[in-house]
Structure 1
Amino acid sequence: MKKPTLEMLAKMAGVGVATVDRVLNERGGVSPEKAQKVLLAAQSLGLKRVLPDVYQHPWQIEVILSANISHFFQTMAGEFSQLADTLGYRRITLHRTFFPENQPEKLAEHLYQCCDKRDGIVVFAQDYPVIYEALEHCKAQGVPVITIVTDLPDAARLCHVGINQLQAGRTAGLMMSKMLNQPGEVIMVSGSFDYRAHRQRIEGFHDVMQQRAAHIILREVLLGLDDRAIIGSLLEQSLQRSKNVVGIYNTGLGNSEIGKVLDNYNLSGKCTFITYELYSVTRSQLQNNILSLTLDQNARQHAQLATELLLRHLESGLIPDTYREGKVDFRLVTPENAD
């Protein structure tokens, strides 16, 4: 009789080859039901080796986030840890990795490595070809991936968890257009365009401002590269070239620096300032009439949904809708509801 192969076992058990490998080598992350099917198939085909007992090892989950020191990602990292503690070590083992936002190649390499030792991945990733290729490899290896915060359209991912970034940008544009009654210029400050989220925020804001605020001139986008010093310097230079800035829209880091520059140019409270996230800095700026409005993404809900959807898929095979089930609602925060 022909020696049983992993492919033969997978076909008989109705699972993937990667699942068979995990069961036979006790690498964990396989539901008891699937493990039982693999072991029964191995017995039926006469696989000559000691077969393991059925045991539900904790799922090995990799969470890859930005290494920048923004409040949002620091908070989200903490939320993932709390969720893992709540679920217990017998159900999930969480591994967190942080990558600088200018290293897509290294992040892609890490994704390849994760396929050999993780059951599922949650990743905040750049919109780069090497990332798409790495996600295709993950899918081929049977490792589901959830993109978080910024999406990678048409990538081989299980689903996406996050707010509608284009909608957030359009909402910021709508609010800015309603707050500005006098002609003037609006400066847009953006995080790295390597991330689709920042491009969508700028696109949505720009489109609505063009439609609803014909009296406003939109200046060129300042690409701060998520570097606080660069953001402050670029804004200084932009204000020096302009005599009538009435609004600033920021999609990423740098709120402290923007506040300082506005104060230096005597624009605090006179210039409409809209940004993202509610934390100590933006809360203080709201209370002191520096910031007009912030859009908060709810870091906790990101972590909760990503964990729930990934576990549901790993344990029962359910495939979530690409966007609907992972949608996070953003919140508009003003000085009146900042507490």
Structure 2
Amino acid sequence: MTHRFPIKEIARQAGLGTATVDRVLNGRAHVSPQTKMRVTAAMDELKAQEAQLAARGRRLFFDFVIEAPSRFSREVKAAAEAMLPQIGTAVCRPRFLLQDIMEEDEVVAALMRIMKRGSHGVCLKARDTAKIREAVKMLANARIPVVTLVTDIGGTDRLAYVGLDNAGAGRTAAYLISLTLGEPQGMVLATRSHERFLGEEERESAFVEALASERPGLKVLAVQGGGVDFETSKLLTESMGDIRNLRAVYSMGGGNRSIIRTLEDNGIRPEVYVAHDLDRENRELILNRRLDFILHHDLQLDIRNAFNAFLGYHRLSNELLETPISTVQVLTPENVP
């Protein structure tokens, strides 16, 4: 079988071992018809990609470094992959590093590896710390643009921020809670996944200020940390002694199934529950009416804006580098898309 591609590349495309591909290409025995078809299809796909590259120009590699629960990371990966066919000026290849929890040094090490091997852009969701800010500056100095996703990193030369208007989301949560509750007394639980996520800090600050203005009789209890189920449950359990007359929950960082379960284990069911993001877990919870409102934004639009920012940086797009911030959409059990 004639070909012009390295065996390793054909094997990677076909999802087979190199030895199996070698047997197919050299017409050796003990190869099933299905395996031969997979190798042939893989070579056809490589030819199509080669033609696509010739027609569309450069091949660009973008790195996604995301610290978030897997439920959110899956949504980011799916949104990025859905956007690829819509990019007409280059062939874009995303590479993903997705982890529930990444310590500061892990993020910095990952960014330094990317700088060493090269990249056309980094889409970053990470905590706002001094070391991470310095690593972002180093990438920018190496002419590797960084776009922050959902939560920003201050004091850096990042190219753009894409994601939700976090302060607007916090004010919206305060409005929904103050509007829904009748008797304006009691406590509101406000949970964040980590104190160093700047986006969640902006949400909480705006929420607390707006709620104090609308319903001064409601006291906010802030719980920071978690984000993954076990840690969220553990931290909330430790705070149960501080909870009195809980009326509402504003969850800024996820872990809602664990929050609901922990509260119910202690005989508490809030009158109104506001959460963020329509991921799989939250979709199930709101359809079962365990959540009352979800503050949602179009993640695919955010990813599209990130790609546009990268393409503009490399002069492959006429899109403006000034990227729009996503406005919040209020979802209820009756209007879940």
Q: TM-score range with shorter-chain normalisation?
A: 0.7 to 0.9
Question: Alignment partner of 1:83: what SS?
Answer: helix
Using the TM superposition, give the Cα deviation of residue 113 of structure 1 relative to its aligned residue in structure 2, in angstroms.
2.6
Conserved 8 A contact 1:61-1:120: yes
Using the TM superposition, give the Cα deviation of residue 283 of structure 1 relative to its aligned residue in structure 2, in angstroms.
3.0
- 2 CA distance for matches of 1:193 and 1:244? 25
Kindly indicate whether residue 114 of structure 2 is the aligned counterpart of residue 114 of structure 1: yes
Using the TM superposition, give the Cα deviation of residue 169 of structure 1 relative to its aligned residue in structure 2, in angstroms.
1.0
Q: What is the match of residue 212 of structure 2?
A: 210
- 1 CA distance for matches of 2:95 and 2:280? 28
Using the TM superposition, give the Cα deviation of residue 89 of structure 1 relative to its aligned residue in structure 2, in angstroms.
11
Using the TM superposition, give the Cα deviation of residue 199 of structure 1 relative to its aligned residue in structure 2, in angstroms.
0.8
Question: Alignment partner of 1:59: what SS?
Answer: strand
- Summarize the Cα distance change of 1:90–1:300 in structure 2 as closer, same or farther, 3 Å threshold: closer
- 2 CA distance for matches of 1:319 and 1:279? 29
Q: What is the match of residue 250 of structure 1?
A: 251
Deviations 1:1-54 (A, max 9, x none): xxxxxxxxxxxxxxxxxxxxxxxxxxxxxxxxxxxxxxxxxxxxxxxxxxxxxx
Conserved 8 A contact 1:188-1:248: yes
Kindly indicate whether residue 268 of structure 2 is the aligned counterpart of residue 273 of structure 1: no
Counterpart residue identity of residue 196, structure 1: L
Question: Alignment partner of 2:314: what SS?
Answer: helix
Moved over 6 A (4+): none
Counterpart residue identity of residue 58, structure 1: R
Q: What is the match of residue 335 of structure 1?
A: 333
Q: What is the match of residue 94 of structure 2?
A: 94
Deviations 1:63-104 (A, max 9, x none): 2112522x2221111221232355489622221122453422
Q: What is the match of residue 141 of structure 2?
A: 140
- 2 CA distance for matches of 1:239 and 1:67? 25
Using the TM superposition, give the Cα deviation of residue 336 of structure 1 relative to its aligned residue in structure 2, in angstroms.
2.1
Conserved 8 A contact 1:159-1:321: yes
- Summarize the Cα distance change of 1:123–1:237 in structure 2 as closer, same or farther, 3 Å threshold: closer
- Summarize the Cα distance change of 1:338–1:319 in structure 2 as closer, same or farther, 3 Å threshold: closer
Using the TM superposition, give the Cα deviation of residue 293 of structure 1 relative to its aligned residue in structure 2, in angstroms.
0.8
User: Which residues of structure 1 form unaligned runs of 5+?
Assistant: 1-54
Question: Alignment partner of 1:153: what SS?
Answer: coil
- 1 CA distance for matches of 2:186 and 2:127? 34
- TM-score scaled by length of structure 1: 0.75
User: Which residues of structure 2 form unaligned runs of 5+?
Assistant: 1-55
Counterpart residue identity of residue 327, structure 1: I
Q: What is the match of residue 166 of structure 1?
A: 167
Kindly indicate whether residue 173 of structure 2 is the aligned counterpart of residue 175 of structure 1: no
Kindly indicate whether residue 189 of structure 2 is the aligned counterpart of residue 191 of structure 1: no
Using the TM superposition, give the Cα deviation of residue 317 of structure 1 relative to its aligned residue in structure 2, in angstroms.
7.8
- After superposition, the CA RMSD in angstroms is 2.5
Conserved 8 A contact 1:228-1:257: yes
State the aligned residue count: 280
Question: Alignment partner of 1:115: what SS?
Answer: helix
- 1 CA distance for matches of 2:311 and 2:164? 21
- 2 CA distance for matches of 1:317 and 1:299? 21
Deviations 1:149-179 (A, max 9, x none): 1112331111111111111111111111111
- TM-score scaled by length of structure 2: 0.75
Q: Percent identity?
A: 19
- Summarize the Cα distance change of 1:95–1:233 in structure 2 as closer, same or farther, 3 Å threshold: closer
- 1 CA distance for matches of 2:78 and 2:280? 17
Q: What is the match of residue 81 of structure 2?
A: 81
Counterpart residue identity of residue 202, structure 2: Q
Conserved 8 A contact 1:132-1:155: yes
- Summarize the Cα distance change of 1:193–1:240 in structure 2 as closer, same or farther, 3 Å threshold: closer
- 2 CA distance for matches of 1:142 and 1:318? 19
